[in-house]
């Protein structure tokens, strides 16, 4: 959890120092109007009749983060009116804090106590022992925006609009209190249980400034610094609006607007380089960015006498009801999913896997103890709902992860391998107690985050044609998903091995799968990988009712009204063209995949791969054009009804593609009695067609820019050295 003084000691630049060596900088300048390291008065603030908090009142549950000066724990309150409430508790070692870090800690404590805003993290307790300082904050279990951006690569403009609007209200509130934030970046924006933002980490903030007073610290993260911060000519609250623009640019494009070979080059670009404006951005987005990236702060949007009202009036934010937004009545773009209140899935497993321990700490010097006199604080009102513990249904609680390392192997015997993928391997297994057969999908945690897959299966696996999740285990290195065993094999195998296939049979298969898609889309879920090999028979009868949609590894919970997804994820022949163009996609990509499935059942081959020797480039080009052949071969005998449905599901324009309910209502499915009985010949060589399908998969794997990888391997993470380097080193 990115909280203030957890980083390495900030680099102080002077004439005699070495070149900059840390990404996060905070320089106390020796120039005019120096900001002195002065005492900050801290007043005692506790509820009348309420005891001060102390470490014994909190149960340590997990480590959320760790830095040079201490740790952040997930804790549960075990006494008082807020008993059982979850918090994030930040623990700092007094003896390790240098003078400037003590000042920042006190500054952060003061700001958090004074600020009360829906989009700024709340502090509930502050207390100390001889060796440690404690701040107890709201536990925001959605993690930080950096992690989500690393996974999604970029966001839609509708998503960005909500995040920026909430952030603008938070910054405006700080500015109204005379506070310059000075460290705006995705790592310092947390998401609560509902997906709303909360600004955190006030260790670099500047307090008690008025409109005429400027600050001169070289302070923040270089890539997000305003030009007036870089050239150290003095800055005020308008520097935050420049950083606001950098964040907007980064969320919309996945790139930073100014980034050089090194820090010196980056600072030169910030001062002099021309802004490269991606043309895929809307005119409104481009306009707002240009107005935020004014190098003269006096001309920057938000710096005028109207302040944030200038930004709120910009056309980019048209349609935002700012009063509803402040009341949190507008749904955020993404709602975190968690199986239980204390779930820490969205935090780095490097820390959450550690055993939580709070050591007393070496007592600090008398001078340091005097510095923190009056540090204790208890919030006047502790609201039960403010932290957002939330409750997930009984169904989810039944499948809480088992963290005992050998638990899975204690209960199951593992047998032969069934299938293997990039991130997992699937094997047959037998329960030792009941002797029943199951399948287990073993997912490598260092390669893939399967949290969303588990949650979707838990929520929606009760559908009769979705594979049933029986059990979940986690040994720290792997996640084991135990499911029903699909004894009938893959739909693709059945289609290719069957000598003849009728339209009625194809209609029955498509109806079963389409009903699943309707159910998923109704619940805001897209599968995103509906290839035939992910549709299996539960038994050997071949009855369409025994079909199960499997492998939800790429499934996603849609994000409310705009519904668009930006994570490019697909299997080559079953990916819609808008995915390749990185324009975002929604339920229409699943309809595209259904169209490919129907085409394959009717024709006996795929629409975009001619054979196993096709190159990935050729395959992907065909997909992007959306052109496919419907003449010759079986197509001479296929009904116009079937052809019409294929065309409408494979339409290159997702807006003109049928929806899942419309597919079910199409006469090809709704009136199977009117379909011809003609036997469509599946005479193509079985291995040849399987080879073509293999080429599809190979094409997908070779198209590296569109493959999903762990957060740590994303361009965003690599740009920051594979791990988040923040002012807190968390």
Residues in the annotated binding site for ATP: 64-72, 90, 418-426, 441, 445
Rounded Cα distance, 182 and 185, in Å: 10
How open is the CA angle 38-203-54, to the nearest 5 degrees? 90
Give the dihedral of Cα atoms 661, 662, 666, 672; nearest 10 deg. -10
Q: Which uninterrupted H or E stretch holds 128?
A: strand 123-128
Which amino acids are annotated as binding site, given as ranges?
Answer: 64-72, 90, 418-426, 441, 445
φ, ψ for residue 580, nearest 5 deg: -60, -30
Q: In the structure, how many helices (H) and strands (E) does the chain have?
A: 24, 22
Positions marked active-site: 183, 529
Tokens of 630: 């419907």
Q: Are strands 412-420 and 424-431 parallel, antiparallel or unpaired?
A: antiparallel
User: Residues 529-545, buried b or exposed e (16+ Cβ, 10 A)?
Assistant: bbbbbbbbbbeeeeebe
Burial of 148 (0-12, 13-18, 19+ CB in 10 A): buried
For 98, other C-beta atoms within 10 Å of its C-beta total 12
φ, ψ for residue 131, nearest 5 deg: -105, -20
- Alpha carbon distance, N-terminus to C-terminus of the chain: 6
Rounded Cα distance, 274 and 344, in Å: 41
Give the dihedral of Cα atoms 77, 82, 84, 88; nearest 10 deg. -50
Burial of 499 (0-12, 13-18, 19+ CB in 10 A): exposed
Rounded Cα distance, 48 and 141, in Å: 31
Tokens of 374: 């009056």
Rounded Cα distance, 630 and 610, in Å: 14
For the chain, give percent helix, strand, coil, nearest 5.
35, 15, 45
Q: Are strands 123-128 and 86-93 parallel, antiparallel or unpaired?
A: unpaired
Task: Tell the residue number behind the tokens 């002797």, with chain if given.
Answer: 435
Rounded Cα distance, 555 and 259, in Å: 34
Of 124, 122, 101, nearest to 53 (Cα)?
124
Q: Which uninterrupted H or E stretch holds 150?
A: helix 145-152
Name every residue whose Cβ is closer than 8 Å to that of residue 582 and which is 6 or more positions away in sequence. 154, 566, 568, 706
Of 321, 312, 324, 187, nearest to 243 (Cα)?
187
């Amino acid at each position: 959890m990115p909280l203030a003084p957890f980083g390495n000691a900030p680099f102080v630049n002077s004439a005699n120092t070495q070149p900059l060596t840390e990404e996060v900088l905070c320089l106390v300048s020796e120039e005019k109007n120096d900001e002195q390291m002065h005492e900050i008065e801290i007043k005692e603030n506790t509820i009348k009749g309420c005891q001060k908090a102390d470490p014994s009142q909190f149960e340590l549950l997990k480590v959320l983060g760790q830095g040079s000066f201490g740790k952040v724990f997930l804790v549960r309150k075990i006494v008082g009116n807020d008993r059982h409430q979850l918090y994030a508790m930040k623990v700092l070692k007094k003896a390790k804090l240098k003078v400037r870090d003590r000042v920042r800690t006190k500054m952060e404590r003061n700001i958090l106590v004074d600020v009360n805003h829906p989009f700024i993290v709340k502090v509930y307790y502050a207390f100390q022992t001889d060796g440690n300082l404690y701040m107890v904050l709201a536990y925001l279990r959605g993690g930080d925006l950096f992690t989500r951006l690393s996974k999604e690569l970029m966001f839609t403009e509708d998503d960005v609009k909500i995040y920026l609007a909430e952030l603008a209200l938070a910054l405006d509130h700080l500015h109204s209190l005379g506070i310059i934030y000075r460290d705006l970046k995705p790592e310092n924006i947390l998401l609560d249980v509902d997906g709303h933002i909360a600004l955190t980490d006030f260790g670099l903030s500047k307090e008690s400034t008025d409109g005429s007073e400027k600050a001169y610290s070289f302070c923040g993260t270089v890539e997000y610094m305003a030009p007036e911060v870089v050239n150290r000519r003095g800055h005020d609250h308008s520097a935050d609006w420049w950083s606001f623009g950098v964040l907007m640019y980064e969320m919309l494009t996945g790139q930073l607007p100014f980034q050089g070979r090194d820090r010196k080059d980056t600072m030169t670009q910030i001062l002099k380089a021309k802004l490269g404006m991606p043309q895929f951005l809307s005119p409104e987005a481009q306009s707002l960015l240009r107005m935020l990236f004014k190098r003269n702060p006096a001309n920057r949007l938000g710096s005028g006498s109207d302040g944030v009202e200038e930004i709120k009036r910009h056309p980019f934010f048209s349609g935002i009801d700012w009063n509803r937004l402040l009341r949190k009545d507008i749904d955020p773009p993404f709602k975190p999913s968690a199986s239980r209140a204390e779930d820490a899935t969205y935090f780095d497993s490097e820390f959450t896997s550690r055993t939580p321990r709070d050591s007393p700490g070496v007592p600090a010097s008398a001078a340091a103890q005097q510095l923190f006199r009056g540090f204790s604080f208890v919030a006047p009102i502790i609201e039960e709902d403010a932290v957002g513990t939330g409750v997930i249904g009984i169904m989810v609680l039944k499948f809480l992860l088992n963290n005992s390392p050998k638990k899975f192997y204690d209960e199951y015997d593992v047998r032969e391998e069934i299938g293997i993928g990039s991130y997992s391997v699937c094997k047959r297994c037998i329960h030792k107690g009941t002797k029943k057969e199951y399948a287990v999908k073993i997912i490598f945690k260092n390669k893939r985050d399967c949290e969303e897959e588990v949650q979707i299966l838990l929520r929606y696996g009760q559908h009769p044609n979705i594979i049933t999740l029986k059990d979940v285990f986690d040994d720290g290195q792997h996640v084991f998903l135990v499911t029903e065993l699909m004894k009938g094999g893959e739909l693709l195998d059945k289609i290719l091995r069957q000598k003849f296939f009728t339209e009625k049979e194809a209609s029955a298969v498509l109806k079963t799968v389409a009903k699943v898609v309707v159910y998923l889309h109704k619940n805001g879920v897209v599968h995103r990988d509906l290839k035939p090999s992910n549709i299996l028979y539960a038994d050997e009868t071949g009855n369409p009712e025994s079909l199960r949609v499997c492998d939800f590894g790429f499934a996603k919970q849609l994000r409310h009204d705009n519904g668009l997804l930006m994570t490019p994820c697909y299997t080559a022949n079953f990916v819609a063209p808008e995915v390749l163009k990185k324009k975002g996609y929604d339920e229409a990509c699943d309809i595209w995949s259904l169209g490919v499935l129907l085409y394959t059942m009717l024709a006996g081959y795929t629409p975009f791969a001619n054979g196993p020797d096709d190159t990935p480039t050729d395959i992907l080009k065909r997909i992007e054009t959306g052109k496919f052949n419907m003449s010759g071969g079986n197509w001479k005998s296929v009904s116009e009804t079937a052809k019409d449905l294929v065309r409408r599901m494979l339409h290159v324009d997702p807006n003109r593609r049928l929806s899942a309910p419309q597919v079910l209502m199409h006469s090809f499915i709704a009136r199977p009695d009117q379909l011809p009985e003609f036997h469509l010949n599946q005479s193509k060589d079985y291995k040849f067609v399987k080879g073509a399908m293999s080429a599809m998969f190979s094409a997908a794997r070779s198209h590296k820019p569109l493959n999903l990888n762990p957060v740590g391997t994303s361009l965003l993470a690599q740009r920051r050295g594979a791990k988040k380097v923040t002012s807190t080193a968390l």
